[in-house]
Amino acid sequence: MGDIRKWFMKAHDKDNGSGSKKAKPAPSSLEKSASAGKTGPSGGESAGRQITSKYFASEKQEAKDAEETEVLPIIRKSPRDTKESPAKRKFQKYNEESPKASPLKKSNKVDDNDDDAVLSSSKKNMSEVTPNKKLKSGSGKGITQKPVEIEASDDEETKGTDSSLKPSGRGRGGKGSSAATIGGRGRGGGRGGFMNFGERKDPPHKGEKEVPEGAPDCLAGLTFVISGTLDSLEREEAEDLIKRHGGRVTGSVSKKTNYLLCDEDIGGRKSSKAKELGTGFLTEDGLFDMIRASGKKAPPRQDPKKSVVKSEESPTKKNFQKVQAKSHKDLAAGASPAKQKSGTAEFSNLTWTEKYRPKVPNDIIGNQSLVKQLHDWLAHWNENFLDVGSKKKVKKASDSGAKKAVLLCGGPGIGKTTSAKLVSQMLGFEAIEVNASDNRGKSDAKIQKGIGGSNANSIKELISNESLHFKMNQPKHHKTVLIMDEVDGMSAGDRGGVADLIASIKMSKIPIICICNDRYSQKLKSLVNYCLILSFRKPTKQQMAKRLVQVANAEGLQVNEIALEELAERVNGDMRMALNQLQYLSLSMSVIKYDDIRQRLLSSKKDEDISPFTAVDKLFGFNSGKLRMDERIDLSMSDLDLVPLLIQENYINYRPSAVSKDDTGIKRMDLIARAAESIADGDIINVQIRRHRQWQLSQSSCVASCIIPASLLHGQRETLEQYERNFNRFGAWLGKNSTFGKNMRLLEDLHVHILASRESCSGREHLRVENLTLFLKRLTEPLHTLPKDEAVKTVVEFMSLYSISQEDFDTVLELSKFQGRKNPLDGVAPAVKAALTKAYKEASKTHMVRAADLIALPGMKKAPKKRIAAILEPTEDTVEGAGGETLVESDDENSVDNEGEENSTNGQKLQLELQSLNKKGMQVQLDLKGVEDSSAKKSGGRGKGGRTSQASEKKGGRGSGSATKRKR
Site for other proteins in 945-964 (CB under 8 A): 947, 951, 955, 958
Footprint (CB under 8 A) of other proteins, residues 345-404: none
The DSSP bridge pattern shows strands 259-261 and 223-226 to be parallel
Closer to other proteins by CB, 334 or 820: give it: 820
Task: Report phi then psi at 328, rounded to 5.
Answer: -65, -35
How many other C-beta atoms are found inside a 10 Å radius of the C-beta of residue 703? 19
Alpha-carbon span 668 to 679, nearest angstrom = 16
Give SS3 for 193: helix
Footprint (CB under 8 A) of other proteins, residues 78-117: none
The DSSP bridge pattern shows strands 715-717 and 654-656 to be antiparallel
* Residue 337 β-bridge partners: none
- CB of residue 171 to other proteins, shortest distance in Å: 53
Residue whose C-alpha is closest to residue 753's, from 863, 910, 907: 863
Give SS3 for 408: strand
Per CB under 8 A, the list member of 204, 858, 900, 940 interacting with other proteins is 900
Per CB under 8 A, the list member of 195, 769, 829, 834 interacting with other proteins is 769
User: In this chain, which stretch among 49-57, 214-222, 224-232, 752-760 interacts with other proteins, using CB under 8 A?
Assistant: 752-760
- Tell me the C-alpha to C-alpha distance, in Å, between residue 141 and each of 62, 119, 148, 744: 9, 21, 6, 84
Task: Report phi then psi at 909, rounded to 5.
Answer: -60, -45
33 lies in the site for other proteins, by CB under 8 A: no
- Tell me the C-alpha to C-alpha distance, in Å, between residue 581 and each of 123, 465, 588, 594, 957: 16, 43, 12, 13, 74
- Tell me the C-alpha to C-alpha distance, in Å, between residue 68 and each of 63, 90, 192, 685: 9, 12, 46, 64
Per CB under 8 A, the list member of 110, 179, 277, 684 interacting with other proteins is 684
Residue whose C-alpha is closest to residue 641's, from 554, 549, 734, 744: 734
Binding mask 618-657 for other proteins (x = CB under 8 A): ------------------------------x---xx----
- CB of residue 703 to other proteins, shortest distance in Å: 16
- CB of residue 936 to other proteins, shortest distance in Å: 18
Contact 412, 517 (CB under 8 A): yes
Footprint (CB under 8 A) of other proteins, residues 825-884: 850-851, 867-871
Per CB under 8 A, the list member of 541, 605, 751, 847 interacting with other proteins is 751
- CB of residue 947 to other proteins, shortest distance in Å: 7
Alpha-carbon span 409 to 428, nearest angstrom = 23
- CB of residue 2 to other proteins, shortest distance in Å: 42
792 lies in the site for other proteins, by CB under 8 A: no
* Residue 459 β-bridge partners: none
Closer to other proteins by CB, 684 or 860: give it: 684
716 lies in the site for other proteins, by CB under 8 A: no
Per CB under 8 A, the list member of 153, 177, 686, 711 interacting with other proteins is 686
| DSSP for residue 211 | P
Size of site (CB under 8 A) for other proteins: 86
- CB of residue 928 to other proteins, shortest distance in Å: 16
691 lies in the site for other proteins, by CB under 8 A: yes
734 lies in the site for other proteins, by CB under 8 A: no
- CB of residue 840 to other proteins, shortest distance in Å: 18
How many other C-beta atoms are found inside a 10 Å radius of the C-beta of residue 826? 9
- CB of residue 12 to other proteins, shortest distance in Å: 32
- CB of residue 642 to other proteins, shortest distance in Å: 14
Footprint (CB under 8 A) of other proteins, residues 284-303: none
- CB of residue 773 to other proteins, shortest distance in Å: 5
Give the type of residue at 325: A
User: In this chain, which stretch among 89-97, 310-318, 503-511, 764-772 interacts with other proteins, using CB under 8 A?
Assistant: 764-772
Alpha-carbon span 411 to 415, nearest angstrom = 9
CA dihedral for 270, 275, 280, 284, sign (positive or negative):
positive
User: In this chain, which stretch among 26-34, 69-77, 813-821, 923-931 interacts with other proteins, using CB under 8 A?
Assistant: 813-821
Closer to other proteins by CB, 621 or 682: give it: 682
Per CB under 8 A, the list member of 360, 394, 720, 831 interacting with other proteins is 720
Alpha-carbon span 284 to 212, nearest angstrom = 11
Per CB under 8 A, the list member of 1, 761, 831, 879 interacting with other proteins is 761
- CB of residue 680 to other proteins, shortest distance in Å: 4
Residue whose C-alpha is closest to residue 750's, from 720, 772, 728: 772
Give SS3 for 591: strand
